[in-house]
Structure 1
Amino acid sequence: MTMRTLGGVPEGCRERLIAHYGPKVQDWLDTVPSVLGQVAERWNLSLEGYHDAGHASVIATATDPDERPLLLKAWADPARYRHEIRALRLWAGGMTVDVMETADDHAVALLELVGGRPGGSDWRQRETQMVAGALHGLHIRGRAESLTISLPLLSDYLRFEVLPRIEKRVLSLDLGQWAPLVEDEFHALATLKEDPERSTVLHGDLYRENVPFDRNGHPRLLDPVPMVGDAAFDWAFWTVYYDLDRETKQRLATAARISRIPVPVIAPWCRLLSLDGLLYYVDTGDPRAPQMTEVLSFLSARGAGGYA
């Protein structure tokens, strides 16, 4: 039976989007069921239900007349929609999720459902090497377009968002036993510089849940927060956040081998991201703070990693 209406957005999704965007997003959330119904009719889809995931969009599963499983994604921020679709189309061809249709008037896109189900298939053989290879392929393709594609700049993101919030939290939080480590890493940030020779289109959000595998065992990157900047940033994000405090050393070594960016170049970017993450976890009372401390200690000039 064809269904082209859904009930209200799941409460967990509402809470995450309100936490991310503030109370102003509530009016938009109230319109989502109607908007999804409109695009489902436009594209002749049957809506299946919501997929309760993500912090910046609402996602629903659907099928087309051939019973092919698909995803509908509605963005609260039209600019984020434009940037994500622009990057996915740049990378199209097997390394990322395919974009099937777009509705610019609603900031909604119809996407391939990788592996036929949310989260992708269970086939993840040689996962670290396969994901590193896919990320390197994205960077190669993005490098050719980095001077012409209209996307936010990593330099602006660092200057206006990351570094100010790090400084604010360093000055305001009670860091207890972690204070010496944080102080050392905070002062080391002054030496971090981008290399224009490594500039490319970055994925920017390389958590494991954003890298499903298809039925053939290939990783397909999705949900980017694309920017143009130093490829070392993406390799550092993948090293730190892909599977927090698990196989960090192995990912760092693989990143250096595949990208040909030396470990001592990637590691300071890892330390920046680890410091930002630790301060966020402390500020929000997140139980992952000790795990992030372990990662930062390993990478620190003061720690056993020795990758300063």
Structure 2
Amino acid sequence: MTAQTLGEVPPGCRRRLLDHYGPSAEAWLSATPSLLDEAAARWKLSLKGYHDAGHSSAVAWAATPDGTPVILKAWYEPLRYRHETAALRMWAGGPTADLIEAADDLSVAALELVGGRPGGAASTGCERQMVAAAIHGLHSLGQSRLRPDVPSLDHFRQEVMMPRIRQRAENLGLGARRSLVEEACAGLPFLREDATRTTVLHADLYRENVIFDSAGHPRLIDPHPLVGDAAFDWAFWTVYYDLEYEVRDRLATAARISRIPLPEITPWCRALALDGFLYYMEIDDPAKPKIEKVLSSFMTSDLEVDR
């Protein structure tokens, strides 16, 4: 049995999941402590406390009988649980958090605790280059191993991203920003994938999803995995890793490390920035000016850099 049980999920976790999934998540949030208790008892773990992070899951930390700390993660969406754990199995030993145990009936998994504490250790410098190397390493594993059963980038683009861009572009009051959005939308039909670059994508490379181990090496956590052109991940990292800051430098690093030509990364940058801009417009996010500036820069020659 566990040494202790956890109470209700932290208020921050509750708020983020309700914002993300809506009121339908209420019942799951109420059941989450019992899900974590059951997983901990099954794997003979002692629960220690919650780690208040993430937008699609509840996270706690625990210890094995020999005192080794681990992360317990419970997903609201069983499908997202299956996709993420499938990708983590494929990436085992790579620059991620290793999967230790998984309970399909609970949508709960035990993961390696990176850096000795929830949230990981501190970066030791050269962050941009080290994260780029980790992305490249992740993509190399995705090309050399049997690919997991996760959605394709083509499906995501055609069935998720494009429809929501069109809907928001038509329904939002864009005012003076309409010409920017229309110009960006005009390039969407020309997005192309290169089959020679097909790999398993992380597809959620925000800074909060990159943590560091005790040696200062980056680990890419909380993937939303897809199978498709590596250019998508490099574009996502370029646009969103540190919104508005060092975009030019990340783009140059992405092109250099991946050896993907800039003209094949930047169309994905434009599409991702447009998608984010319209979403931030819809929810009136305070980051609207930042993403608008990034999108505008990709509609000019501002970010043409030398490799």
Fold conserved (TM > 0.5)? yes
Is the Cα–Cα contact under 8 Å of residues 145 and 201 in structure 1 kept in the other structure?
no
What is the 5 A alignment of 1:63-142?
63-142=63-142
1:24 deviation in Å? 2.1
What is the 5 A alignment of 1:262-301?
262-300=261-299
Give the counterpart letter for 1:62 in structure 2: A
What is the 5 A alignment of 1:1-308?
3-145=3-145, 148-300=147-299, 302=300, 304-306=302-304
Distance 2:149 2:298 in 1: 34
| Count of residue correspondences | 305
Give the counterpart letter for 1:189 in structure 2: L
3-state SS in 2 of match to 1:101: strand
1:218 deviation in Å? 0.7
Distance 1:40 1:14 in 2: 21
Give the counterpart letter for 1:19 in structure 2: D
1:20 deviation in Å? 2.0
Distance 1:271 1:229 in 2: 18
3-state SS in 2 of match to 1:212: strand
Query: Structure 1 vs Structure 2: percent identity of aligned residues?
Result: 57
TM-score, normalised to structure 2, is: 0.95
1:162 deviation in Å? 0.6
Give the counterpart letter for 2:84 in structure 1: E
Distance 1:136 1:117 in 2: 26
1:202 deviation in Å? 0.4
- Which region of structure 1 is more displaced relative to structure 2, 22-31 or 275-284? 22-31
Distance 2:302 2:200 in 1: 33
- Which region of structure 1 is more displaced relative to structure 2, 251-260 or 182-191? 182-191
Distance 1:170 1:123 in 2: 39
3-state SS in 1 of match to 2:218: coil
Deviations along 1:87-142, one digit per CA (max 9) or x if unpaired, are: 11111114110111111121111111111112211133211111111111111111
- Which region of structure 1 is more displaced relative to structure 2, 221-230 or 148-157? 148-157
Is the Cα–Cα contact under 8 Å of residues 245 and 291 in structure 1 kept in the other structure?
yes
Give the counterpart letter for 1:208 in structure 2: R
1:306 deviation in Å? 4.7
1:67 deviation in Å? 2.3
Question: RMSD between aligned alpha carbons?
Answer: 1.6
Give the counterpart letter for 2:65 in structure 1: P
Give the counterpart letter for 2:111 in structure 1: L
1:264 deviation in Å? 1.1
1:303 deviation in Å? 5.1
Is the Cα–Cα contact under 8 Å of residues 145 and 200 in structure 1 kept in the other structure?
no
3-state SS in 2 of match to 1:220: strand
TM-score, normalised to structure 1, is: 0.95
Is the Cα–Cα contact under 8 Å of residues 270 and 298 in structure 2 kept in the other structure?
yes
3-state SS in 1 of match to 2:212: coil
Distance 1:190 1:124 in 2: 41
Give the counterpart letter for 1:16 in structure 2: R
Distance 2:282 2:301 in 1: 23
Give the counterpart letter for 2:303 in structure 1: G
Moved over 4 A (4+): none
- Which region of structure 1 is more displaced relative to structure 2, 12-21 or 160-169? 12-21
1:210 deviation in Å? 0.8
Distance 2:187 2:225 in 1: 26
Is the Cα–Cα contact under 8 Å of residues 58 and 73 in structure 2 kept in the other structure?
yes
Deviations along 1:210-237, one digit per CA (max 9) or x if unpaired, are: 1101011111111000010111000000
Deviations along 1:137-182, one digit per CA (max 9) or x if unpaired, are: 1111112346x53111111111111111111111111223322211
